[in-house]
C-alpha cells in the first residue's frame, strides 16, 4: 500500500489540520511565566492524518515526509501522551490500540502540528473506544496536553485569549487560498519569547462583523504577530521566505506562531498552487504547501 494511504487502512481516521495564527498579539505575562495572548486562528485543509485500530497491544507507527524527523526528535510524543491521559480518564473502556501517524507537517514549526495530532488522537480514540466526555472535562484534559490543544480540538476559525484556553468562534471568517512555507530550520520558542522587546502590547481588536474577504484581509493586515521580529533575529531565513512569498504574488504574508512557518494568502487556489510549485523549484530543500483554509461557516 502506498505510504500516503496507510492511515486510511485503519478503522477510524482523523485529520489533524495545520493551525495558522493569522494574528498573534502578546498582551501580558502571568506570575507563573505563561504569556497572555490574543490570537486570530484558522485551520488549513492540509495537515497530518491519524488512523486508529484495535490491537492486542498498544502500537504506534509513523509515515509521511516528516515521520522520520519525529522518530528522531527524542521528545515526548503528544500522540502517546494524549492516548495515555485519555486512557487514565475513561478506564476499562480503553482497550489496546494501534495508532498510525502520517506526519505531513514539519515538526516544531509554529503551525500546531503536535497539538493538532494530540487533538485528533483524543477525537479518534473517543470514537474507537465508544466513549464521550463532558465538554468541560474534555477541555481540561486537552489543556493538560498543551495550550494549543483546545484550539485544535475545535479546528475551525476562532479567537483565543489568555494562554489559549478562552476560545470564541469566528463564524464570519472566510476560507483563504494559502501557501505555507518553512525553511526547515528550527526556532526556539522560549528564546523568541525571551527576546520580546515588550510583553504588554495592544490587544487584538476586530470589528463585530467583517463583511467580506477584502475587509478581512485589511483587518488581518492591520493586526500583527508580535513574535515575528524576534524570530527573524534568530532565523534569517524567515525574512527570506516571507520575501519569496511576496514576490510570488501573495496578497498578505506573515509568520505563524513562533515560527518558522510563514504563510502567504493568494487571490485564488490556482495562484497559490502555481506559487508553491515555483517556490519548490527555487528551493526544493524547503517546505512549500498550497492549501485552503476552512471557513467559519464550515
CB 170 within 8 A of CB 159: yes
Annotated binding site: 106-116
Determine whether 166 is an active site residue: no
Whether residues 185 and 94 fall in one domain: no
**Mean pLDDT confidence for 148-157:** 95
Check whether 286 has a pLDDT greater than 70.
Answer: yes
**Mean pLDDT confidence for 139-147:** 94
Whether residues 158 and 215 fall in one domain: no
Could you identify the residue written with the cell 504563510?
A: 263
Among the options 19, 48, 117, 226, which is catalytic? Answer: 19
Whether residues 110 and 183 fall in one domain: no
pLDDT at 7: 57
Give the predicted TM-score (pTM) of the model.
0.93
Whether residues 185 and 289 fall in one domain: yes
Could you identify the residue written with the cell 498510525?
A: 100
Determine whether 148 is an active site residue: yes
Domain that holds residue 140: 8-169
Check whether 5 has a pLDDT greater than 60.
Answer: no
Q: Residue 145, CB half-sphere, CA atoms under 13 Å: how many? A: 31
Among the options 38, 48, 117, 148, which is catalytic? Answer: 148
pLDDT at 1: 36
pLDDT in tens, 266-279: 999 999 999 999 99
Whether residues 123 and 47 fall in one domain: yes
pLDDT at 210: 75
Check whether 108 has a pLDDT greater than 90.
Answer: no
Whether residues 155 and 194 fall in one domain: no
CB 102 within 8 A of CB 49: yes
Annotated binding site for ATP: 106-116
Amino acid at each position: 500500500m502506498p505510504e500516503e494511504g496507510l492511515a486510511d487502512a485503519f478503522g477510524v481516521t482523523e485529520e489533524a489540520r495545520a493551525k495558522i495564527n493569522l494574528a498573534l498579539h502578546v498582551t501580558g505575562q502571568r506570575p507563573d511565566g505563561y504569556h497572555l495572548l490574543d490570537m486570530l486562528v484558522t485551520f488549513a485543509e492540509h495537515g497530518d492524518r491519524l488512523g486508529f485500530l484495535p490491537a492486542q497491544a498498544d502500537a504506534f507507527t509513523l509515515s509521511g515526509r516528516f515521520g522520520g524527523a519525529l522518530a528522531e526528535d527524542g521528545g515526548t510524543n503528544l500522540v502517546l501522551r494524549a492516548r495515555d491521559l485519555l486512557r487514565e480518564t475513561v478506564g476499562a473502556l480503553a482497550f489496546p490500540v494501534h495508532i498510525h501517524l502520517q506526519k505531513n507537517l514539519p515538526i516544531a514549526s509554529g503551525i500546531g502540528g503536535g497539538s493538532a495530532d494530540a487533538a485528533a488522537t483524543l477525537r479518534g480514540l473517543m470514537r474507537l473506544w465508544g466513549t464521550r466526555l463532558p465538554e468541560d472535562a474534555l477541555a481540561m484534559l486537552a489543556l493538560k496536553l498543551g495550550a494549543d490543544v483546545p484550539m485544535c480540538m475545535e479546528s475551525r476559525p476562532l479567537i483565543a485569549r489568555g494562554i489559549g484556553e478562552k476560545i470564541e468562534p469566528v463564524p464570519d471568517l472566510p476560507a483563504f487560498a494559502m501557501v505555507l512555507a518553512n525553511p526547515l530550520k528550527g526556532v526556539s520558542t522560549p528564546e523568541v519569547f525571551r527576546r520580546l522587546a515588550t510583553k504588554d502590547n495592544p490587544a487584538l481588536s476586530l470589528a463585530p462583523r467583517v463583511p467580506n474577504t477584502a475587509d478581512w484581509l485589511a483587518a488581518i493586515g492591520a493586526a500583527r504577530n508580535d513574535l515575528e521580529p524576534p524570530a527573524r533575529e534568530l532565523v534569517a531565513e524567515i525574512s527570506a521566505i516571507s520575501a519569496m512569498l511576496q514576490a510570488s504574488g501573495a496578497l498578505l504574508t506573515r509568520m505563524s506562531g513562533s515560527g518558522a512557518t510563514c504563510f502567504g494568502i493568494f487571490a485564488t487556489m490556482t495562484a497559490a498552487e502555481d506559487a508553491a510549485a515555483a517556490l519548490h523549484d527555487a528551493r526544493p530543500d524547503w517546505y512549500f504547501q498550497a492549501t485552503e483554509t476552512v471557513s467559519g461557516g464550515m
